[in-house]
Amino acid sequence: MGLQFTLSSPDESVARQALYDVIIIGSGPAGLVSALYTSRANRSTLVFTGNQIGGQMALTWEVDNYPGFPEGLTGPELVERLQKHAERFGAVFEMDLVTAVDLGDRPFTVTAHSGIYQAKTLIVATGASPRKLGIPGEAQFTGRGVSYCATCDGWFFRDKHVAVVGGGDSALEEALFLTKFATRVTVIHRRDELRAGPALQRRTRENPRIDFIWDTVVDRIEGQDRVAAAGLRDVKTGATRDLPVEGVFVFIGHIPNTRLFGGQLATDEQGYLVVDRHMRTSVPGVWAAGEVGDPHFRQVITSAGMGAAAAVEVQRWLDMHD
């Protein structure tokens, strides 16, 4: 394409090039670990971070279950460590949004606000975004009582009263998990019946720590430094009231960030990228890692593992084709 840009190597020398061995779109745990592996294999690596490096991990107040850190650390601290590790081997991080990708010809073309780039291979690590309630206080208290992952944050609500918003399988699974820590879990659902499977419904109804509020939505979240209450509204009567809680867990679904690849990469019925056991997508030379292809686990460690697997496969592919 003729566009020149810089690649910083570990010894801080600068090399100009128009083609990267691998471009990684996304900078959550999958993208960061992919960058570490490919750059360590001496493959020129460019990572598009989006507006904020780290993805959802950067919004996590404390990560207490990442192996090797028994005292725990904050999401931003883990992001910084992973980025520095990748940069040590020469990975380049571009704080930019990718606006278009052309997978029809090789090398692949990646267009961002800063210019047009080319890559021999591509790793898609764009993640999935939890559906938000879009109410006052939600963004303000994210990481301070508002959470989208019980497995990540449940431990911090030991002996507390928390609310779970949702009525599907994920909501009930997470509600059951939270009973390991919270003394009371209130499930708030906008309908008068649950959408989850019968077995999950039975288990939650039989759990003495779980109670339900039906036909109700959360209109606002209030507190000072942390969540103190959820403002509720009955959808049938319009009546409002406050529910004192110390945590609000939102489980109303996820949206895989795949719009960029519409019509070019195969997706399942939920919109997640279809990958095989080697993280390969439907287009040779393109891999996907992390939540963009994982509707089930959605953990930092599993995304990191998928990123490592994708990067290993990229190295093998490049070794065969170079």
**What residues are annotated to the active site?**
149, 152-153
Q: What is the DSSP string of 158-223?
A: TT-EEEEE--SHHHHHHHHHHTTT-SEEEEE-SSSS--S-HHHHHHHHH-TTEEEE-SEEEEEEEE
State how far the Cα of 307 lies from the Cα of 34, in Å rounded to an integer.
5
Q: What is the DSSP string of 85-103?
A: HHHHTT-EEE---EEEEE-
Beta bridge partners of 230: 221, 243
State how far the Cα of 258 lies from the Cα of 112, in Å rounded to an integer.
16
- AA identity, residue 158: R
- AA identity, residue 23: I
3-state secondary structure at position 84: helix
State how far the Cα of 79 lies from the Cα of 52, in Å rounded to an integer.
11
State how far the Cα of 155 lies from the Cα of 179, in Å rounded to an integer.
10
Instruction: Select from 287, 293, 281 the least CA-distant residue to 309.
Output: 287
CA 96 to each of CA 117, 138, 313: distance values in angstroms, whole numbers, following the listed order: 12, 26, 26
What the block records as the tokens of 163 is 């609310």
Query: Which residues lie below 8 Å from residue 269, measured CB to CB, with a gap of 6+?
Result: none
State how far the Cα of 311 lies from the Cα of 278, in Å rounded to an integer.
10
Q: What is the DSSP string of 286-312?
A: EEE-GGGG-SS---HHHHHHHHHHHHH
